[in-house]
Structures are given as C-alpha cells and as structure tokens.
Structure 1
Amino acid sequence: MTARTLRPRLVAAGATLAAGTLLLTACGSSGSSSTASGSAVNPSASVKAVTADPSLAALVPADLKSGGKLIVGSDASYAPNEFQDDKGAIVGMDVDLANAVAAKLGLKAEVQNAGFTAIIPGIGANKYQLGMSSFTDTKEREQTVDMVTYFTAGTGMAVKKGNPDKISADDLCGKKIAVQTGTTQADQIVDVINPACTAAGKPTVPNDGDKFDLQTDVTNAVVSGRDQVMMADSPVIDYALKQTGGQLEKLGPTTDSAPYGIALAKGSALTPAVQAAVQSLIDDGTYKQILQKWGVEAGAIDKAQLNGATS
C-alpha cells in the first residue's frame, strides 16, 4: 500500500543506506507462505469473534453510531497488509484489524480501495473516517491527521535472485530503484540517497527512482529486470520474496523501524475510541491472532499510542 512516509536516514559515505521506514502497498496473493520475519501466512486461519464493548461503543460520536459503519480507505496493493485476493476481495492484516476495531465499537467496517496518496486527503474531505494502509506515523503526517499506532515496521530492499548486478546495500548510487509513488522510500531517494551520491562524486539514482502507483508494479519491475532494486516496508519485502517463487532475494538488513498509524481527522472525536479499541484488541489477544494469521507478528506492539511518531 504505498509510500508510507517517514523521515529517512540514509547516511552518506558512498550513500550508505540506513533507510527510514516507509508506508507502501505491496504485491498480493492469498496463498499460504512463510515470511522472513514471522510465521507462515495462513489467510484461512480463524480469529476469535470480536463483540462490541459497551464502554468503548459509548465513545463513538452519535452520527457515526447512528450510521453503524466506519468507512476505511486502504490501498489494496500492499500484501500482506492490504491486497485483493483471487476473488477481488480486499484482505490482509490491516483489513482484519479494521474489522476488529469496528466490531469493538459496535460498528461495521467498510474497507474501500483507494490510491495511497488519496487517502489522507479523503479523510480531510470526510470521505473516509479511517485510513489503514500501512501508513508510517511521522511528525509530518501528524500535522495533518491524528495517528493511532498499531504496528512497527522497517524499510527493506530486494534484488533479483543471486544479485546478478552485485549491488551493495551500502551503495545505491547510480542504481535503478523501483519504489511506490508517495512512499517514504521515494522520499529517501530524493532527500537522502541522491544528495549523498552527489556529495560523494557518484552518479545519482536515475529519475530519482522509478515510481509506480501500485506496489505490485514495483515488484514486477525488479522481477522483469526493468529495475535493479526495490525498496518497501519490511513486511512487504518479506512477503514478496515468497510470492514471487524465489525470483527475488533480500538485500541487506531491515533498517529504521518505526510505527504504523491508523489515520483519522485531526482532533476527531473518534480518535479516543479507536485508540481504546486497538488497545483492547492487544490486551485480549485478538491482535496477536490477526498478526499471526498474516505472518507479521514480529511487528507487534504492546501499547497503542496517539501520535507516537519517532521522527
């Protein structure tokens, strides 16, 4: 799901990458697989039913309570966090969490597929009550929306199996890099990698990176050989390694972990209810079951924070 922006930390010395966390969307399949950072992905795994908590439902604004649903914007191209299955249904970790949050509040979630860069503006326009699309919680985003933290992820990279171009994670200067439009990774190339390359007297990343609207296209660009490297959130990279049938391999370590946040309108009366619902799901074990279902439990947190950006 797309450039989930963060303030990157790509340090110079030949453009050493200590990539900042991003917010993206990724490739998707509903098949079971394991990931590098968690257990096997099992989309058919059962998660205990979530029932409404009257004390939390009481926090829901009256207009939303009467409507009975939460409209959630999500860029369904970022597996395993949010993507479309073989039948076209939107599924994934964020979708299950959105459904569980809504149920805790006595509501029903309606998850709508949206372009990643259109979700936060859509919240401002009252098109969506929530944005759940692997958004990295950043200080910059917190100026526009409230963010309730619910996960942590870092930035990862992948290249074709065997790394035929012998690319080093510590030197991306001059390499063709695929990223999703609007992501932290895309910002990193412009703000950190290329300035460091210029300072070192090395060629910059062409085109400031090849940018694609869908994370699936980012993955395909590397598989097809159009680009040499892809950058995305760590769960997305781990999932892509499995879903491409061994055509990709990870490049370097996961770096710069940071929280994901559920985006809500700034100062929304709904924010305390969502924060309390996420914490309740963490406390009662539902949250852990959902993360295990999608093989991403390595990113679990134990406290839902409001506006918990680290940078």
Structure 2
Amino acid sequence: MRLKRLCQMLFLLAGLAPLAAGSARAETDIPTLKMDPALHEMLPEAIKKSGELTVATDAHYPPCEYFAEDGKTIIGFEPDVWNAMAQKLGIKVKPSSIDFSGIIPGVQSGRYNASFACLSDRLEREKTVTFIDFWYGAAAIYAPEANKTITEDPLTLCGLKTAVQVGIDFGDMVRDIFSKHCVANGKPPIEVSEFPSASQVLLALYAGRIDFALSDAAAVDDIQKKATQPIKVIESPLLPKIYLGAIVEKSNTQLADALFAALKAVYAEGVYDKIVDKWNLHLLKLDEPGINLASTRPIETPKP
C-alpha cells in the first residue's frame, strides 16, 4: 500500500546535532524567475506597498526549513518554494522562526502574512486558515534498532509508550488510529506524552522513557546518521498520507489567490520539479497543487 521509504522520518534533531549547512543539496542552484506584473497586481495593497511578505516558520526541521551555517539564513525545501513564488510576485520574503505552537495564532492575528512550516492541511485548521498545498506528508514510526518487538504489525505498539511534540498532528494519530486499533483487538492503548520540542522527544527515546516516536516523512538518512544509537524506520498499514502547504488567514482570500497563482507559475516553469530534485523529495511530490485540499480533494484515511 505504501511505497518503500515513503513513510520516512522527518529529521527531528533540532538542538541535538547541527546539520552540515551548506551541504551539496543546499548549495544547488535554482533558476531565478522573472516577475510577472499580472501576479504582482493580485497582491493586497499593503504587501505591494511594503514589497515584502512576512512569513512565520519553525526553522529546525530539515529538509523543510532550517538555519544555514551562519545561524541566520533559513534554507530548505520550503524556502526554495517561497523564494520562487516571491520572484514571480516581485516581492521579498521576510521569514521569522518562532515556536511551532505560535505559528497559526500568529497568522490568524495578522502578525504574519503567511506561514510555511510543513503544516498539515486538516479540516479543523481550514476553519481558521486557508491552505495552499504543494506537497505530501507521510508518517513513520522509528524506534531503537535493538527493540525487536516493534514490527510493521500495528498491534506490536499496543501498551507501549510514545511521545510527540506539542501542536503536531501525531498525538491525535496515535490516539485516534493506533490506540483504537489496539482496543478493538483487545489490547491496551498506547500511552502518549507531549513535549515542547522535537529534541526532547528524541532524548526521551534515547533514554528509554518512551518506546517509539512518530512524525513526518522526509529525511530518514539524516536522523539515522545523527542518532546516538542505531534507529530503525518502520512502515505501518495504519500510517496516513496527508497534504502539506502554506497558510494565510482565512478571510484573506486575495493573498491566498495571489500565492496560489504564483505557485502555479512556479510549477509551470518547471522550478518546482527542480526544487524536488534538489531535496530528493520525489515520493512526497504533489503533481497538482491546490487550495484546502483536505476538503476539496480528500485522501482516504486508514481505518483503525
């Protein structure tokens, strides 16, 4: 059902070990695009006047977005996408890295025009923000290699302990899919803890306080390379596939339309494909972007 390595772990070692910023992929050139005056005119007047789009992100999740070696420049798959969109719109992007939990409130309040932060498009979120979706997310389980009891069978997770970062979807995924599957089969549910940061989740795993962790797919090679002990990545038939995208405040339809039009231009000029090639994210590539795809083009969710 799931292509091999589609469900791979998003690198979560923020604060544990620095990625080698300036890696070969991060230095790969992406073509500079020409401004399209018609797209520029679609922007809200305030953004046209300032010439910049304020973007909230959490720059601790390679390859989504992370800090370069200078500790200031934000690079990654999504920054490459937002920069290409900005070029078509004739503006600059002013990104700010903040705590993940503050991203949606920051967009809702108007403090930021938009957010790019590997955000999963969910029906509940679509009530307050508009999604411009342009790639997939896929979840994976990871656990110490030495733990031979955890397998691709979801029932091997029953009664175990896990942890997730506050504000991330995966706690609901464990409770609503995996634990329900356990209970339906006469087994105990999974015990879920929450931590403020992804690095704390990993520390809990390495210390043996939890048995496994769950998060987005994108860079399993990085996490396995940087882990303090051998880590295995496990596929499961209960792991769902989701849409990921940028967000704007729900009522700001003018900005949503402008960003979506710019994104389609980036696709049409072949730059999206080049960015996917650069970050080796072919299995997460979304061939046709869209607005609020969780509701307009829903993906069937695995049933517990």
C-alpha deviation, 1:279, in angstroms: 1.1
- Please identify, of 195-204 and 293-302, the stretch whose mean Cα deviation from structure 2 is larger: 195-204
Q: What secondary structure is seen at the aligned counterpart in 1 of 2:194?
A: strand
Q: Kindly report which structure 2 residues correspond to 1:153-302, keeping only aligned pairs within 5 A, or say none.
A: 153-161=137-145, 163-169=146-152, 170-171=154-155, 172-206=157-191, 209-237=192-220, 239-244=222-227, 247-253=230-236, 255-268=239-252, 269-302=254-287
Q: What secondary structure is seen at the aligned counterpart in 2 of 1:60?
A: coil
**What percent identity do the matched residue pairs reach?**
27
Amino acid at match of 1:183: I
Q: Kindly report which structure 2 residues correspond to 1:79-90, keeping only aligned pairs within 5 A, or say none.
A: 79-89=62-72, 90=74
Q: What secondary structure is seen at the aligned counterpart in 1 of 2:218?
A: helix
- 1:104 aligns to what? 88
Q: What secondary structure is seen at the aligned counterpart in 2 of 1:132?
A: strand
- Please identify, of 180-189 and 270-279, the stretch whose mean Cα deviation from structure 2 is larger: 180-189
C-alpha deviation, 1:210, in angstroms: 2.6
Q: Return the alpha-carbon distance in structure 1 between the equivalents of residues 91 and 11 of structure 2.
A: 26
Q: Return the alpha-carbon distance in structure 1 between the equivalents of residues 21 and 229 of structure 2.
A: 15
- 2:28 aligns to what? 45
Amino acid at match of 1:42: R
Q: Return the alpha-carbon distance in structure 2 between the equivalents of residues 186 and 238 of structure 1.
A: 24
Q: Return the alpha-carbon distance in structure 1 between the equivalents of residues 68 and 42 of structure 2.
A: 33
Amino acid at match of 1:235: A
- Please identify, of 269-278 and 78-87, the stretch whose mean Cα deviation from structure 2 is larger: 78-87
- Please identify, of 274-283 and 190-199, the stretch whose mean Cα deviation from structure 2 is larger: 190-199
How many residues matched?
A: 281
Q: Return the alpha-carbon distance in structure 2 between the equivalents of residues 281 and 114 of structure 1.
A: 27
Return the TM-score normalized by structure 1.
Answer: 0.81
Return the TM-score normalized by structure 2.
Answer: 0.83
In structure 1, runs of 5+ residues without a counterpart are 1-20, 34-39
The alignment yields a C-alpha RMSD, in angstroms, of 2.6
Q: Return the alpha-carbon distance in structure 2 between the equivalents of residues 97 and 220 of structure 1.
A: 32
Q: Return the alpha-carbon distance in structure 2 between the equivalents of residues 146 and 59 of structure 1.
A: 17
Q: Return the alpha-carbon distance in structure 1 between the equivalents of residues 240 and 184 of structure 2.
A: 23
1:251-286 deviation digits (Å, cap 9, x = unpaired): 125832121121111131101110011111111121
Q: Return the alpha-carbon distance in structure 1 between the equivalents of residues 209 and 169 of structure 2.
A: 21
Q: Return the alpha-carbon distance in structure 1 between the equivalents of residues 207 and 78 of structure 2.
A: 29
Q: Answer yes or no: is the 8 Å Cα contact 1:51–1:103 preserved in 2.
A: yes
Amino acid at match of 2:177: V
In structure 2, runs of 5+ residues without a counterpart are 1-6, 300-304
